[in-house]
């Protein structure tokens, strides 16, 4: 309801229409009763004509209000969901990477799409429509009692049975729907993961095994849906039997009442319509309560995600236009799970404009170090300074805007090459992109693509080679003109010919900004001012390449000898 506050006038109008619909709906059978009792038996054609015209007017007015009610409630649901979907997506993209490390992508997709559609039904089929149904029930009952309280009591004799049936149905369907929601989340997560990793599935010829897993998930999802279908299939015939019994009782007792002049013939004609108007909301209200409950369950999941305190704290006020690029780690300790430290008492310093190379075995903490520098995660102990200010004192967007990170695994979005480079930042011109592409030698291959810079890249850049994707990522980093450049094994997937093209661009690029390079191939870091050797989350060695090569049994010297002796032997 808080989400509907900006549209409160539409909400109030919907509620007002719901109030008006109840008496209008009951006015039609009342007019039929008056036609029979006051005009048909007295051959009053003019009076009958007047009432018929009033009946038509009420009918058209009811239809118009019903149209407005259905349209407004559905419109309200759509705009609320639109706002909420934007809110949750903005929240998701601000979460720490640790959330994505442990949460399947399909779960977030389910929250943003499926659960949102369920919340939509809270407005289109939930709160306001339940209010309209309850008002209709009350008005119908009041008119029925005024018309014939004895006949009404006879008709209501079956009411306890339908209430009991509705309650059992509501509980069973609620349980079935919860299973359906759980299975939808499982299926979305499975599909997202396996479609994204389809290359691996096919490389290892695992189609049959994965198809079998999907069949199991699909069968469980279908079973959950069939459970809910079963309850509907039982409930509606039961309600039909109960309402038919009520109609039979009404005809039996009402006929006697007409013969004994206790009930008018008009009331006997109108009462089946009243009964239909009475049982129809009762028949649907249990389903609508379930819809409302499922909407609230979906809302619980969505708000649980929105309330999740997983976003990177952004309380800093410092937002400089440029950074000098002076970096200092002082006794930094970090753990992903809060118990097992990945970095242990890490300290080093990079002067403005210098290049630092970080080397070490897989799992030594290299990528974690740059993740902390980018504030993808927050460290538990120690301090990280940039230009003498702790990085938490910087406004997050302003800080990250001055840092560019080029990863080994390049991610490209669906869209043109130009859009992938600028990330749709209108401040970056086409000329700037072309200039940056020429600087690193990517312009030639881009121009050869069909459409050049307007070439449509498929999802994740599937139609481009690894080297081409890497070149585009370099242009992307260049065009944002960062003060700190980080290359996380950015040349490891590039062939020697492309590496030669990129190497000059890297050297030109890092000559005027602070740079951190993570690399396994030591040939790519020989121009670094200092080298940081990491081992099991600790700084093992630090110094210039010349200094590290002089260390007997030094880790860097061992890596150096291993790579270059192998190269010489080859």
pLDDT score of 569 more than 60: no
Q: Which of 35-39, 261-265, 394-398 has the lowest mean pLDDT?
A: 261-265
User: Domain-by-domain residue ranges, the chain?
Assistant: 7-306, 327-569
Question: Is 0.75 surpassed by the pTM of this model?
Answer: no
**How many Å apart are CA 19 and CA 134, to the nearest integer?**
10
Please state, in angstroms and rounded to a whole number, the distance separating the CA atoms of residues 498 and 568. Answer: 21
The arithmetic mean of pLDDT across residues 168-176, rounded, is 80
Find the DSSP H helices in 103-206: 105-112, 114-121, 127-147, 149-155, 159-196, 198-203
**Encoded tokens for 490:** 């950015």
Q: Is 210 helix (H, G, I), strand (E, B) or coil?
A: helix
Lowest mean pLDDT among 213-227, 371-385, 495-509: 495-509
Contacts of 197 (CB under 8 A, 6+ apart): none
Q: Report the C-alpha gap between 515 and 370 in whole angstroms.
A: 11
Query: Is residue 45 over pLDDT 80?
Result: yes
Residues 6+ away with beta carbon under 8 Å from 341: 333, 334, 335, 537
pLDDT band at 502 (very low <50, low <70, confident <90, very high): low
Query: pLDDT tens for residues 315-354?
Result: 888 898 899 999 999 999 999 877 889 999 999 999 998 9
Q: How far is CA 11 from CA 25, 77, 87, 129, in A?
A: 21, 10, 21, 12
Angle 295-277-22 from CA coordinates, rounded to 5°: 70
Under the phi-then-psi rule, with left for phi > 0, alpha for psi from -120 to 50, and beta for the rest, what region is 437? alpha
pLDDT exceeds cutoff 70 at 565? no
Measure the CA–CA gap between 224 and 232, rounded to whole angstroms: 13
> What was the pLDDT predicted at 331?
94
Judge whether 120 and 80 are in contact, CB under 8 Å: yes
Q: At what angle do helices 496-510 and 430-440 cross, to 10 degrees?
A: 120
**What average pLDDT does this structure show over 54-64?**
91
Question: Are the C-beta atoms of residues 406 and 477 closer than 8 Å to each other?
Answer: yes
Terminal C-alpha separation, the chain: 71
- Per residue in 246-296, pLDDT (tens digit) is 888 878 877 877 777 777 777 777 788 888 877 777 777 766 777 777 777
Distance CA(479)–CA(476), nearest Å, equals 5
Q: How far apart are CA 568 and CA 570, in angstroms?
A: 5
Give the pair of three-digit tokens for residue 204: 């290892």
The mean-pLDDT minimum among 71-75, 288-292, 389-393 falls in: 288-292
Average pLDDT for 48-59:
88
Please tell me which residue, 550 or 293, carries the higher pLDDT value: 550
Q: What is the dihedral of CA 230, 231, 232, 234, to 10 degrees?
A: 90
The per-residue pLDDT for range 177-207, each reduced to its tens digit, is 778 878 887 888 888 788 877 877 887 788 8
Lookup: tokens for 555: 């880790």
Which of the given ranges, 52-66, 94-108, 503-517, has the highest pLDDT on average? 52-66
Q: 3-state secondary structure string, 454-505?
A: HCEECHHHCCCCHHHHHHHHHHHHHHCCCCEEEEECCCCCCCHHHHHHHHHH
pLDDT tens, 423-472? 888 888 899 889 888 887 788 888 988 989 999 887 777 778 777 888 88
Query: In the structure encoding, which two tokens stand for residue 466, read together?
Result: 């690894």
Of 40, 76, 250, 31, give the one whose Cα is nearest residue 148: 250
pLDDT over 70 for what percent of the chain?
Answer: 95
The pairing of strands 355-360 and 514-518 is: parallel
- Report pLDDT for 282: 74
Please state which of the four CATH numbers 1.20.1250.20, 1.20.1560.10, 1.10.3330.10, 3.40.50.2300 is assigned to the domain occupying 7-306. Answer: 1.20.1560.10
Instruction: Identify whether the C-beta of residue 373 lies closer than 8 Å to the C-beta of residue 330.
Output: no
Q: Do domains 7-306 and 327-569 have the same CATH topology?
A: no
CATH architecture of 327-569: 3-Layer(aba) Sandwich (3.40)
In a 3-state reduction of DSSP, which class is residue 515? strand
Asked whether 457 and 413 are in contact (CB, 8 A), the reply is yes
Q: Which residue, 318, 371, 315, 394, is CA-closest to 488? A: 371
The distance of Cα 557 from the centroid of its chain, to the nearest Å, equals 49
């Amino acid at each position: 309801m808080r989400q509907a506050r900006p549209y409160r006038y539409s909400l109030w109008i919907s509620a007002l229409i719901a109030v008006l619909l109840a008496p209008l709906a009951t006015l039609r059978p009342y007019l039929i009763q008056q036609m029979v009792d006051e005009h048909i038996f007295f051959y009053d054609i003019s009076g009958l004509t007047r009432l018929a015209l009033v009946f038509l007017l009420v009918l058209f007015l009811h239809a118009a209000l019903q149209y407005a009610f259905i349209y407004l409630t559905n419109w309200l649901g759509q705009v609320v969901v639109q706002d909420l979907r934007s809110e949750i997506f903005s929240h998701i993209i601000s979460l720490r990477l640790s959330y994505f490390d442990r949460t399947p992508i399909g779960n977030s997709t389910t929250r943003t799409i499926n659960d949102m559609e369920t919340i939509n039904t809270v407005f289109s089929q939930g709160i306001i429509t339940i209010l309209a149904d309850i008002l209709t029930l009350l008005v119908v009952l009041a008119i029925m009692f005024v018309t014939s309280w004895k006949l009404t009591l006879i008709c209501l004799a079956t009411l306890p049975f339908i209430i009991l049936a509705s309650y059992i149905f509501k509980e069973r369907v609620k349980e079935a729907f919860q299973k359906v929601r759980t299975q939808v989340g499982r299926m979305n997560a499975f599909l997202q993961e396996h479609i994204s990793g389809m290359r691996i599935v096919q490389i290892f010829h695992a189609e049959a095994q994965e198809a079998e897993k999907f069949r199991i998930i699909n069968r469980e999802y279908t079973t959950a849906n069939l459970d809910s279908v079963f309850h509907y299939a039982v409930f509606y015939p039961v309600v039909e039997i109960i309402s038919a019994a009520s109609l039979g009782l009404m005809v039996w007792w009402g006929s006697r009442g007409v013969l004994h002049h206790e009930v008018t013939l008009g009331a006997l004609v109108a009462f089946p319509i009243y009964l239909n108007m009475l049982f129809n909301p009762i028949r649907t209200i249990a389903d609508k309560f379930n819809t409302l409950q499922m909407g609230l369950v979906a809302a619980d999941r969505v708000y649980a995600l929105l309330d999740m305190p997983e976003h990177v704290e952004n309380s800093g006020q410092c937002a400089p236009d440029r950074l000098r690029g002076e970096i200092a780690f002082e006794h930094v300790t970090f753990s992903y799970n809060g118990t097992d430290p990945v970095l242990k008492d890490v300290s080093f310093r990079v002067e403005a404009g210098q290049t630092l190379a970080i080397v070490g075995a897989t799992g030594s903490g290299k990528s974690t170090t740059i993740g902390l520098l980018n504030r993808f995660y927050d460290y538990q102990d120690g301090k990280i300074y940039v230009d003498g200010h702790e990085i938490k004192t910087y406004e997050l967007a302003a800080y990250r805007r001055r840092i560019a990170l080029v990863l080994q695994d390049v991610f490209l979005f669906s869209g043109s090459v130009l859009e992938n480079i600028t990330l749709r930042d209108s401040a970056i011109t086409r000329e700037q992109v072309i200039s940056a592409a020429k600087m690193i030698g990517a312009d030639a291959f881009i121009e050869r693509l069909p459409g050049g810079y307007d070439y449509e890249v498929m999802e994740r850049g599937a139609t481009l080679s690894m080297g081409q994707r890497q070149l585009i990522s370099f242009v992307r980093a260049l065009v944002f003109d960062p003060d700190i450049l980080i290359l996380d094994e950015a040349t490891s997937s590039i062939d020697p010919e492309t590496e030669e093209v990129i190497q000059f661009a890297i050297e030109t690029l890092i000559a005027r900004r602070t740079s951190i390079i993570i690399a396994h191939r030591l040939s790519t870091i020989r121009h670094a001012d200092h080298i940081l050797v990491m081992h099991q989350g600790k700084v093992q060695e630090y110094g210039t390449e010349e200094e590290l090569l002089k260390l007997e049994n030094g880790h860097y010297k061992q890596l150096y000898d291993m790579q270059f002796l192998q190269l010489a032997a080859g």
